[in-house]
Structure 1
Amino acid sequence: MKRLSQHGKFCLISVCMFTLLIGGCNTAERQNSNLKLWYDAPAADWNEALPIGNGRLGAMVFGRPDKENIQLNEGTLWAGGPHRNDNPEAKGILQEIRQLLFDGKYKEAHNLANAKIISKTSHGMNYETVGNLRLNFNNHDDYSNYYRELDIEDAVNRTSYTVDGVQYQREVFTSFADQVIVIRLTASEKGKISFFAGMDRPAPSVVEVKTEGNDILTMTGKGADLKSKRTPENAKPIEGRVKFESRLKIVPEGGWLSATDSTLVLDGANTATLYLSIATNFVNYKDVSANEHQRATEYLAKAEKKDYGQLKSGHSSLYQKYFNRVSLNLGVTDSIKNPTNVRIKQFAVGNDPALAALYYQYGRYLLICSSQPGGQAGNLQGIWCNELTPPWKSAYTVNINTEMNYWPAEPTNLSETHEPLIELVKELSVAGQKTARDMYGAEGWVCHHNTDLWRICGPVDGATWGMWPSGGMWLSQHLWEKYLYNGDLEYLREVYPAMKGSAEFCLSFLTPEPENGWLIFAPSTSPENRPAHMPKMVNIAYATTMDNQLIFDMLTKTAEAAKLLNEDAELIKEIEATLPKLAPNQIGQHGQIQEWIHDWDDPEDKHRHISHLYGMHPSNHFSPYRTPELAEAVKNVLIYRGDPSTGWSMNWKINQWARLLDGNHAYKMMTDQIKLVGVPGTRGGGTYGNMLDAHPPFQIDGNFGFTSGLTEMMMQSHDGAIHLIPALPDVWLTGSVTGLRARGGFEIESLEWNNGEIVKAVIKSNLGGNCRIRSYSELTTEGGKALTIAKGKNKNQFYQVPDIQEPIISKKAELKGFDLKDTYLYDIETEAGQTIIMVKK
């Protein structure tokens, strides 16, 4: 054992100042911020632990005084290795299965799909936890004055408590700048920092934990060899080829640092800084040849050259570059004095607008922390997963969940976080070419309802879920959507091959249905739902409404991109000749948007998926202004389905009600979502104590759906204009927001409202062009100059709206018409860099 002298540049004055600012203040002062999640007790379980991340590294901090647990993730640690899961038997039965569907033999078609189309080699790999860092503090179980927080303004987790009159503090963050997890331990008296550190990983994984010298602890292992439950008995497991190494270094000031075979022991230090580095050998979905030891060692060596102050300031500075772009103020009430879990529990029965704003910004925080340029796209749990076999593999479910993760990326000014999803789509567009060719004899590329780190594109999980060849089309909408915000033709040229490939698959896979001759997809599903008259688990169908809407979008957007890039004139002609032959939207006997080609909808169907409303949101086929009959039919579906549901579904409905311009119903959905679950006496979807979305279990898409939905309530730009506060609920009559982005390169630098009316709006035009404003308030320029009343279609190319065919309306449908508020519509010609200031007249 060796006595260590003071190390590093962090001085005693800084420790004392931290004690005064954090440890020495009362609870009300500690949480004096609208941007903190805070609690007066440690996390009882994982759903109360607090998430930190830097896009690649993730951790859940429990905040336990005696036995701290920091659960660890690295974005590329998945089971299995590079592989494919296509089923070439599908090609030989495509015409047979189509005929079975057209003949109404759905059970037979379902069985054939399971036998000949669903993958026989792999049903996707699991995202896995790295494991746990354990810090055990002797005699810290009898504590008082406890407080923990997650400050989403600087992305730092803090814990403080008192033992025997000594105030202890911890700070933890996942450095954006230095790619390590940093932990700082301080106390109000010298010589009081004593603990031992260990690492472990859940069984049945096999890891090696050992020490190097007296100050470094390592854990090494690999992802699991995995055989999917649904593969044949004689199928071989997919070999786990992702190797990882985790390295912990402890740098104390004073005290004694020693080691056992598998732990580090610190006794009597004044302070301690812990550096935790994690790396894998993953290069890309085809290559796992990197050196994980070298990577982890280099991350650690670079980070430990910096003192704690430098590490923390560099981390927060990079994080705040993203986070500070948007601010939101909906007002503050006395509820802010309560711990976050109490506020969640009371939200529906109280008035806590600041919690809605915190929930909104928490979604932005989670997106920044789970999706960074150069890294992997956020999966079903973002980057936070404490299991080896997580729910739904914590993979990429692309029939709604992965897309929902990225709905806030562009409008909430986090465009860079969108890049990992764009890269995922580009990689799938390459991997999926072989799937399209081998399985369906089709051009272009296809992806079904699920994929993973290895970019599998074949159908998984059985025909009930997996017989849906439209995942690539939905993902590809993000390629075009990003262009609508940035207007960057070089970017569009980069992603155009993926768009074109998805459109080519559409054209190859379309087939005429027998009753009307419409070109449709068969076989397919309306994701995860079935008509009530179908046998249980038989979801297989053809010409589902969501498919029809996606096909229309994929073809029209690809043709528009080709025109902008002066590419593929013949493809444009083929698309334009195909569009009139597609199946239209239909309004059924209950006044609803039909989910299937036949009028099979049941008003008692409460299914969580509302796939056939894709055309309302996130697309823009339906509009209260342009297509009021279709908009009312959307509303009827939402009423039939009901409000309570799984977490992500309720958040999708917030977006739907906002698009229907009903802010009060959108807010009612928020009260259903911000409902405490995960504690005795609770059930259903809602929110855990750590403010993560509960499907249940945890799925991060609900958090992102909430942030998207609240944005849609404050600003919309999909329907030919920038609509300011289109769906404001009565509870938020006064407020302000800064930094939102609208299509066409417009930024809402600030928007203020009072008594439900716009007071001031400042909009910057980054690309120039016509800025069309829709408002319920009469506006003028700041100097009192009248604004030009808009006429006709918006000539700004980024504000074109789809030319949707007239809906087929059942004779039994009763539509009452859509009741709209009076609106003002203005046109303002702008130049790039110009700022527009408008005020209430």
Structure 2
Amino acid sequence: MKGLAMDTSALLWYKTPADDWNKALPLGNGRIGAMVFSQPLEERIQLNEDSVWSGGFRERNNKSALPNLEKVRKLLFEEKINEAEKIIYDAFCGTPVNQRHYMPLGDMNVIHYKESECDFKSRSLDLNTAICTTEYAINGVDYTREMFISQPDQVLVMHITASEKKAINVRVRIDGRDDYFDDNSPVHDNDILFYGGCGSEDGINFAAYIKVLHKGGKVYPYGSFITCEDCDEVTILLGAQTSYRCEDYKGQAVFDVERAEEKTYAQLKADHIADYKSYYDRANISLSDNSSGNSALPTDERLALVKEGDPDNKLIEMYHNFGRYLLIAGSREKTLPTNLQGIWNKDMWPAWGCKFTININTEMNYWCAENCNLSELHMPLIDHIEKLRPNGRKTARDMYGCRGFVCHHNTDLWGDTAPQDLWIPGTQWPMGAAWLCLHIWEHYLYVQDREFLSEKYDTLKEAAEFFLDFLIEDKKGRLVTCPSVSPENTYLTASGSKGSICIGPSMDSQIIYELFTAVAEASKILETDGGFRKKVLEARDRLPAPEIGKYGQIMEWAEDYDEVEPGHRHISQLFALYPA
């Protein structure tokens, strides 16, 4: 790793290239993402842009929900769970079933076209600089590729150097997936315009523009490639834009690259590092090095030793640093929030649609935003709540006859709020907007910005209004949600019935308690809306409190049910412990 300082808590490095997407190294500027494989002879850079989704907005509220709401509630109170779930499956799930899903932009390839063998040295991601470096040798010549994605200049940058003059012979191209693109041909001697669309009549169109700059040698088009022959240095710039943000998305992608081209590589790199470090350097964790020398090993070898029981505090530091890095790389002001996989996705139909899964995943992405002094990076999530509000009002009214706004366990880039999937353990969960709104309150608690709180008070209030209408009395006179689920879990009743749809799961009551508390406190701070404050506090006092079950556990449901799958991966009943 020539030229790299060994920071054992901030340098991910490996002795072999990535042979699998999950082993590639992620780069990002909040909007453009890349997974770097560091294959020396035939490099693949898998590309994403945060607004490349599968189509336009869909109106998906199930009009059959409201006429069947009381029937479902009656069946649940009678513990006729299977009958209730059959109605939920048909009358409450979204129509159509799916929200829009996230998609990859394409792949950039950089190929050494004259060589067939090489000696691979190392690949690394320096968390101090957000730069990925690949080192290898071909026929006694040492090569280095540096790569980063600049937020100030809004471009991906790859810089290739060699230990000898006239040694760089590579071809560069960009390709799409599953025919979801229209062209990837060179435009002039040293540039390619790649563009296409994602589908649906009002879907998203995208463009990526590559320009190849060189010192020494020559550059020329060759088929769908740009060929670099006998060059001393090569710099590749890539810009990407979509119709989601820009009417002239092709022109904007070209503009981004041509503006970046006005800087030298050294200037681009320096500006990128300065911007990145202005966030990354705000927090630090320092633990004693107890690794007995293991901390100098490649990252994958260190992980293997920890799995065997060897201590490595510096690897714990790296884990903390990597989490902060991913938030900085995946969530910047004016971008979309990080989705189920951040901004990194290789699949046209990714797992769970790679949407914003808001029954824990999206919220968890932002758990380090405030306590690691990255408050600005919280704003894409908070901004996205405003997209939910108009759609969520319609969902609340059409499906439940309630005021306020609601969202279920997923949303997409359009702020879709209707139930997602046909999966009973997850779909029918009306708490997504409420949990997201707690991020508004969390942000205020850290930054103490009264103007921000005043601006967002109506959003908090609307989320609470929904539950003032939606909550019903259970047999003990408590106010509970119905119908709902404890996310992704299934229970077993004393009579042997299995179910997921239920009355008053513990997590719901805990989220609503926090929401009502936040609204009441905000009202008090802002010295406004005392009547509404009184209503939410009265309702809060009637919510079920956390209870201890027959095994000494915190009960997950309002009744002391058994889990069908003991030790389930979701521990929703502990929301009151964390994050609340």
Classify the TM-score, shorter chain.
over 0.9
Instruction: Tell me which residue corresponds to 2:83.
Output: 108
Partner of 1:308: 265
Name the SS of the counterpart of 2:499 in structure 1: coil
- List aligned pairs for 1:560-579, cutoff 5 A: 560-579=521-540
Out of 313, 321, 334, the position equivalent to 2:278 is: 321
1:471-521 CA distance string (max 9 Å, x none): 1111111110111111111010111111000000010101111x2111111
2:294 to 311, 335, 344: 335
Q: Is contact 1:542-1:597 (8 Å) kept?
A: yes
The AA in structure 2 aligned to 1:164 is N
Q: Secondary structure at the match of 1:528?
A: coil
1:594 corresponds in structure 2 to: 555
Question: In structure 1, how many angstroms separate the alpha carbons of the residues matched to 2:518 and 2:35?
Answer: 40
2:449 corresponds to 1:488? yes
Contact kept? 1:464, 1:537, Cα under 8 Å: no
Q: CA deviation at 1:413?
A: 1.0
Alpha-carbon distance in structure 2 between the residues aligned to 1:161 and 1:263: 23
Matched, 1:223 2:198: yes
Tell me the secondary structure at the aligned position of residue 544 of structure 2. coil
Give the Cα–Cα distance (whole angstroms) in 2 for the partners of residues 536 and 396 of structure 1: 32
Task: Compute the displacement of 1:357 (Å).
Answer: 0.3
1: CA distance between counterparts of 2:433 and 2:271?
38
Distance in 2 between residues matched to 1:607 and 1:381, nearest whole Å? 22
Alpha-carbon distance in structure 1 between the residues aligned to 2:140 and 2:152:
36
Whether the 8 Å CA contact 1:40–1:148 is kept in 2: the answer is: yes
Which residue, 571, 577, 580 being the options, matches 1:616? 577
Paired letter, 1:475:
L
- From the superposition, tell whether residues 435 and 32 of structure 1 become closer, same or farther in structure 2 (CA, over 3 Å): closer
% same residue? 37
Instruction: Report matched runs for 1:656-695 at 5 Å.
Output: none
Contact 1:594-1:601 at 8 Å conserved across structures: no
Secondary structure, counterpart of 2:372 in structure 1 = coil
CA-to-aligned-CA distance 1:795-837 (integer Å, 9 cap, x gap): xxxxxxxxxxxxxxxxxxxxxxxxxxxxxxxxxxxxxxxxxxx
Indicate how the Cα distance of structure 1 residues 410 and 542 shifts in structure 2: closer, same or farther if over 3 A, else same: same
Alignment of 1:313-462 (within 5 A): 313-332=270-289, 333=291, 334-348=293-307, 349-462=309-422
The equivalent residue for 1:247 is 209
Displacement of 1:140 in angstroms is 4.2
Cα distance, 1:602 vs. partner?
4.6
CA contact (8 A) 2:498 2:564 kept: no
* Structure 1 stretches lacking a partner, 5+ long: 1-21, 226-238, 284-288, 620-841
Quick check: 1:208–1:219 contact (8 Å CA) kept in 2? yes
Out of 241, 251, 254, the residue aligned to residue 297 of structure 1 is 254
Counterparts of 2:254 and 2:199, CA distance in 1: 23
Q: How far apart, CA to CA, are the structure 2 residues paired with 1:295 and 1:255?
A: 30
In the other structure, the counterpart of 2:218 is 256
Give the superposition deviation at 1:290. Answer: 1.9
Where 2:124 maps in the other structure, the secondary structure is strand
Question: Who is 1:773 aligned against?
Answer: none
Q: Which amino acid aligns with 1:275?
A: L
Q: Give the conservation status (yes or no) of the 8 Å contact 1:107–1:535.
A: no
1:532 equivalenced with 2:487 (yes/no)? no
Change (3 A) 1:79 1:604: closer
Structure 2 vs 1, CA of residues 122 and 532 (structure 1 numbering), >3 Å: closer, same or farther?
A: closer
How large is the Cα RMSD of the aligned pairs? 1.6
Matched, 1:137 2:97: no
What corresponds to 2:70 in structure 1? 95
Once residues 120 and 48 of structure 2 are traced to their aligned partners in structure 1, the CA distance between those partners, rounded to angstroms, is 31
Cα distance change on mapping 1:132 and 1:573 into 2, 3 Å: same
Q: Is the 8 A contact 1:595 1:601 kept in 2?
A: no
Match of 1:552 among 513, 534, 537: 513
Bigger shift: 378-387 or 524-533? 524-533
Distance in structure 2 (CA, Å) of the matches to 1:83 and 1:562 = 35
- Residue pair 2:9, 2:321 contacting (<8 A) in 1 also: no
Is the counterpart of residue 477 in structure 1 residue 438 in structure 2? Answer: yes
Answer yes or no: is the 8 Å Cα contact 1:426–1:495 preserved in 2. Answer: no
Q: In the alignment, is residue 268 of structure 1 matched against residue 230 of structure 2?
A: yes
Q: Give the drift of 1:83.
A: 2.6
Higher mean C-alpha deviation, range 558-567 or range 166-175: 558-567
Partner AA of 1:487 in structure 2: Q
Instruction: Indicate the residue corresponding to 1:188 in structure 2.
Output: 163
User: 1:295 and 1:163 mapped to 2: Cα distance?
Assistant: 38
The SS at the match of 2:545 is: coil
Give the alignment's TM-score, normalised by structure 1: 0.67
Q: Is the 8 A contact 1:590 1:603 kept in 2?
A: no
Deviations 1:642-667 (A, max 9, x none): xxxxxxxxxxxxxxxxxxxxxxxxxx
Instruction: Name the CA shift for 1:158/1:522 in 2 (closer, same or farther; >3 Å).
Output: same
- How far apart, CA to CA, are the structure 2 residues paired with 1:168 and 1:240? 45
In structure 1, C-alpha distance between the alignment counterparts of 2:359 and 2:565, rounded to whole Å:
23
Pair 1:125-2:84 in alignment:
no
Amino acid at match of 1:440: Y
Say if 2:17 is the partner of 1:57: no
TM superposition shift of 1:301:
1.5
Q: Could you say if the C-alpha distance between residues 279 and 106 of structure 1 is closer, same or farther in structure 2, counting changes exceeding 3 Å?
A: same
| Aligned mates of 2:402, 2:502 — CA distance in 1 | 20
Larger of the two Rg values belongs to structure: 1
CA distance in 1, matches of 2:113, 2:198: 34
Matches within 5 A, 1:635-784: none
Contact 1:470 1:547 in 2 (8 A): yes
State whether residues 185 and 194 of structure 2, in contact with CA within 8 Å, keep that contact through their aligned partners in structure 1: yes
Q: Determine the C-alpha separation between the residues in 1 that align with 2:257 and 2:334.
A: 20
**Which residue of 234, 253, 278 corresponds with 2:240?**
278
Supply the distance in 1 between the matched residues of 2:477 and 2:124 (Cα, whole angstroms). 60
Report the Cα offset of residue 200 of structure 1.
Answer: 1.1
Deviation of 1:94 after TM superposition, in Å, equals: 1.0
| Correspondence for 1:36 | 11
Shift of 1:578: 1.7
Query: Number of residues paired by the alignment?
Result: 575
User: TM-score scaled by structure 2?
Assistant: 0.96
The whole-number CA distance in structure 1 between the counterparts of 2:119 and 2:19 is 17
* Aligned residue number for residue 582 of structure 1: 543
Q: Distance in 2 between matches of 1:527 and 1:602?
A: 12
Offset of residue 577 of structure 1: 2.3
One-letter code of the match for 2:384?
L
2:142 is matched with which residue?
167
1:254 Cα shift?
A: 1.2
In structure 2, the residue corresponding to 1:136 is in which secondary structure?
A: strand
Partner of 2:26: helix, strand, or coil?
Answer: strand
Structure 2 contact 490–563 (Cα < 8 Å) conserved: no
Counterpart check, 1:512 vs 2:487: no
The structure whose RCO (Cα within 8 Å, separation 6+) is larger is 2
| Structure 1 residue 204 displacement after superposition | 4.5
Query: C-alpha distance in 2, partners of 1:319/1:243?
Result: 29
**Local SS of the residue matching 1:170:** strand
Residue 331 of structure 1 and its aligned partner are, at CA, apart by: 2.3
Q: Within 2, Cα distance between the matches of 1:518 and 1:489?
A: 34
Is the 1:526–1:546 contact (alpha carbons within 8 Å) kept by the matching residues of 2?
yes
**Deviations 1:11-53 (CA, angstroms, capped at 9, x unpaired):** xxxxxxxxxxx64x6xxx7645531100111111111111010
Deviations 1:62-106 (A, max 9, x none): 111100011101011111112322112211111111101101111
